[in-house]
């Protein structure tokens, strides 16, 4: 089966250095791996109109963004880039749904944007838009969002906080932006128990992270039985990422992705690139993700042992115990 690599090629060139450079490095690395490249069909998404994002975002907020599109400068470029990102995520989800293949979007993961305001770098929440697109356009009822970016998915959480139709699982570094995502944040009203957060201590490495995944993610995916899974596969959880505080290696990220691939067997799955801000390691980790989801061996290895403070495992154990106690009322 040929999988899909979705990429919007029309990003503003002056926006290149901040984000697009790392996207295109992945494409350059892929060119060197002929066998891996043969397993993917590279496709360009149809661009959404800003008005179509009203499926999630408030009309007044989108009106303000539209006014900024008439101006020059960084804000305009950011909105254009986010709109292309939303287009790619929606298209990847549609391909995964219709074709039964895994679709990887080289872009997106803008999980900090809220219905009515910008969050972090993000003007539009492409994941929330894709969720509502699947529900409204394709009658998909139950969607799981597994978000393993190092930053808590605060925007996505707020948008669906009272919604049992979206199971959100977020693993993230504690003590960094945006400062949310405590285990006590489990949703409200009908959505109570459907928001699962595991904050991890600064310095957490492969062993503790992968152990924690096994304790939490398969259990709740199996209990929830989603109709579709969106996986935000951010690699800013890696060692030496300038905006992260966890220390996963290239091997650890590949093993993380293997666990998601295994638990998603039998489900429709779209993989979204998410964060990753190291110009060397992030593209290599992204290529490893492509390798993992096409059953190809790991391409790039970190090859060095990373030490973990002893407090990290103890912290994770305490947080998981607390989380399980809170969730036991609902599952």
Element (H, E) at 133: helix 126-138
SS3 at position 57: coil
Task: Please count the CA atoms within 13 angstroms of the CA of 278 that sit on its side-chain side.
Answer: 21
**Which residues pair with residue 99 across a beta bridge?**
none
SS3 at position 268: strand
DSSP classification of residue 18: I
Element (H, E) at 87: helix 74-99
SS3 at position 255: helix
In terms of DSSP bridges, do strands 40-43 and 103-105 run parallel, antiparallel, or are they unpaired?
unpaired
Output the CA angle 218-224-229, nearest 5 degrees.
70
In a 10 Å sphere around its CB, with 0-12 CB exposed, 13-18 middle and 19+ buried, how is residue 141 labelled?
exposed
Tracing tokens 């957490």 back to the chain, one arrives at: 204
- Known catalytic residue at 172: no
Q: Say what the alpha-carbon torsion angle 223, 312, 302, 5 is, to the nearest 10 degrees.
A: 30
Select which of 57, 105, 111, 112 is catalytic.
112
Task: State both tokens at 302.
Answer: 């970190």
Q: Which residues are catalytic?
A: 112
């Amino acid at each position: 089966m040929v999988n899909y690599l979705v990429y919007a090629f029309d990003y503003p060139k002056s926006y290149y250095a901040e984000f697009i450079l790392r996207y295109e490095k992945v494409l350059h690395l892929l060119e060197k791996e002929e066998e891996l490249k043969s397993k993917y069909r590279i496709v360009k998404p149809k661009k959404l109109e800003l008005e179509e994002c009203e499926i999630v975002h408030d009309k007044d907020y989108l009106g303000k963004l539209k006014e900024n599109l008439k101006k020059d400068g960084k804000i305009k470029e950011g909105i254009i880039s986010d709109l292309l990102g939303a287009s790619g995520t929606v298209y990847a989800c549609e391909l995964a749904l219709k074709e039964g293949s895994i679709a990887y979007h080289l872009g997106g993961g803008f999980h900090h944007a809220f219905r009515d305001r910008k969050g972090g770098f993000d003007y539009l929440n492409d994941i929330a838009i894709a969720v509502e697109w699947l529900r409204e356009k394709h009658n998909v009822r139950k969607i799981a969002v597994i978000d393993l970016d190092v930053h808590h998915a605060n925007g996505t959480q707020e948008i669906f906080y009272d919604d049992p139709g979206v199971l959100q699982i977020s693993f993230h570094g504690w003590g960094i932006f945006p400062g949310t995502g405590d285990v006590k944040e489990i949703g409200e009203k009908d959505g109570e128990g459907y928001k699962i957060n595991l904050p991890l201590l600064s310095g957490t490495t492969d062993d503790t992270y992968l152990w924690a995944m096994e304790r939490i993610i398969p259990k709740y995916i199996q209990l929830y039985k989603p109709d579709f899974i969106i996986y935000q596969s951010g690699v800013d959880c890696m060692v030496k990422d300038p905006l992260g505080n966890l220390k996963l290696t290239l091997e650890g990220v590949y093993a993380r992705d293997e666990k998601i691939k295994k638990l998603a067997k039998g489900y429709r799955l779209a993989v979204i690139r998410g964060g990753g801000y190291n110009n060397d390691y992030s593209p290599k980790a992204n290529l490893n993700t492509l390798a993992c989801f096409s059953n190809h061996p790991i391409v790039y290895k970190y090859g060095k042992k990373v030490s973990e403070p002893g407090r990290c495992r103890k912290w994770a154990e305490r947080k998981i115990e607390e989380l399980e106690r809170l969730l036991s009322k609902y599952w």
